[in-house]
Structure 1
Amino acid sequence: MPASAYITGLGSYLPGEPVDNDAIADRLGGVGPGGDRIKNRILDSNGIRQRHYALDADGQTTELNEELAVKALQAALADRGIGAADLGMLACATTQGDLLIPGFGSMVHGRLGGGPMQVLTAAGVCASSLAALDAASAKIRLGDHPRAAVVGSELASRWLHRRRFASGKPSLDAEFLRWMLSDGAGAVVLEFQPHPDRPSLRIDWVRQMSLAHEHKVCMRAGMSGTDPVAGQTWQDQADVASAEQAGLMHIRQDTRDLAALAEAGLQQFEELVDIGLIDLRHLDHVLCHYSTNAFRDIAFDGIRARIPGLNTDRWFSNLETRGNTGSASIFIALEESWRTGRFAAGDTVLLAVPESGRFSFAFAHLTVVEPRPGNSSSGVSTHASTAPNRRSNRP
């Protein structure tokens, strides 16, 4: 039997109470001159109705990014019924950790505890979580570790508060992300065998593809324009205050490139269909991370035109209620789908994550499997919760 990796525990963490669209400006410190029109336009387009911030009413950070990650990891470990000491590897993904040095993975491990383990920090933007999943599942398959944990975590709100824009009127590319991003973390536990007492998610394959050789930078922070120039990045300024004054510390996205991102993502999807990795006849669920409903609509139009056999009712996203949490989004959606009984034994699940940073895409294919006969928990206690094992929302 070929070596496999299985998701046997899932967890997520969203800080604070949900913040609806009426309260978002107050939480982020208000808007500048003419900002209400931009804000309302963006919120109408992205479709997000509520999100979570690790910020209090005064705009002060209430939790570290590493704390968000650890709380999601603890939830996933509890779901599996094991502790951090049972892990051989920890793979952490984020767009920006709390510190410049050390790496995010080391800081999460230090707070999580558990014992000696391999640690990986996957840096990037949204697709970094599936990059971390790819690395951890590969080590499981190789037999290097019997168990691993993967977490995607984001604390974007520190970059979005009004005080960040005090140097002048922000541009649309910065305002776009200000009303788009929010905080949260999602985590999974991986093992070399299925859960002993309930269904698991077998990782069939993970694929990542960068198209940076064809595209300029789209989502960025730390430079002006879309081409980095020696001596002109944020680290080349006289001090951090100068970099912020120059607007280099704003998170920006060129919204004009989103249609091209959707087009490139559809091409990547079609290639996976063409080579047989995705079988549209046996694809039960698609969990796609997208930043805005406008982006979803572009993708849906392209899919209907090119692949009429794919029913978009199979797609699931909790963007409207959980917000855009970057690298954490795909795990937060997967955890909610699993916990609410969306999947049944035998179902196939496709995870899809486009990343606008410099055009990269990540996909993962999962299959819901029953416990293997004779499988044991190796002395590890198991969680007593009832596993999803019904077709409550089968397309």
Structure 2
Amino acid sequence: MAGWQEALECQARTRAKAGLTRTLRHRAPDDSVVDLAGNDYLGLAVHPEVIAASVRALQAYGLGATGSRLVRGSTDAHADLETELAGWLGAERALVYSSGYLANLGAVRALAGPGTLLVSDRYNHASLIDGCRGSGAEVVVAPHADPAALAAILGAHPGRAKVFVTESVFSVDGDLAPLAELHAVTSAHDTLLLVDDAHAIGILGRHGSGGVAAAGLAGLADVVVTATLSKSLGGAGGVIAGPAALIRHLVDTGRTFIYDTAPPPAVVAGVHAALRITRAADDRRAVLADRGRLTARRLTAAGFTVPTPAAGVLSVPAPGPEAALSWAADCRDRGIAVGCFRPPSTPDGSSRLRLTLNAGISQQDFDRALDVIVECAP
């Protein structure tokens, strides 16, 4: 019976030789590291108003939601957040999930099934890929952010139900999908467009309403939006926003909604407070944009190929997985946290540091972080 454990140990040794071992690093409450690895783009996770709203809900409702949304898990806090999210994203309705991962699984599986042609951008996040794999649909992987290639794929399947799945701002390299052009293609071929807006909400669009809104696509009947509540909004959870008929379908049939415990009311209330701050946070968005331009200039001057980020994510190429690990560890030893992305997290098989900009840290700390990243480069 121990053979299965030996097989796992063998796989672990293989990963170690390839530089693909992963390690949990626990963060203390008083951690002083300058954070360019987390996704708290606007610095709202520790905002006093966000924390106060969460504490009030914690005192009112207790620690957890105590059940699924359809049993005892739905509260006024959930309903209020969903109403404001729908208005912010320009959708008829919104439905909150306990994670962005489950929201993506639920959205893909609701829109596609046996007989559907499901087209997925090559660089999509793992949650979208897993949703595609579990949908039962025929899946075609499309070249990255390529409207012409998408048109050719969709044009080869007339008369079929079709869905195209993409991110707005891609989670590894931070590049922006040409959403308006992609929608022109999907519209011409009677295809639904599903956009994961996780890395764009709070940053792009009027009042931070996201990449879909910035592209002029908010509220269209053939566009569905998903997002996490854990990045610009500083909390946890996910959302699907779209036509009322879709939300009704998800409530009635969506397994990742029906059978999952609801997100805690304290988290939901904190996210709601963060959303209200975000809508008026043009100053924080301006800081983020300035830091994106500064980072691209600084790293380009140091010899790296780093374009100005579309939102808050940018990647710096590393020679390989072990070099990326060593680079990130050296930065961490000097008080700077950076992301280290290696296969299979990278869609093209290469390794890099991923930097996530943060408007909530001081300019002095941010400048020091860039110096350390350059000085520690392999």
TM-score, normalized by the shorter chain, greater than 0.5 = no
TM category (shorter chain) comes to: under 0.3
| Larger proportion of helix | 2
| Larger proportion of strand | 1
TM-score, normalised with respect to structure 1: 0.26
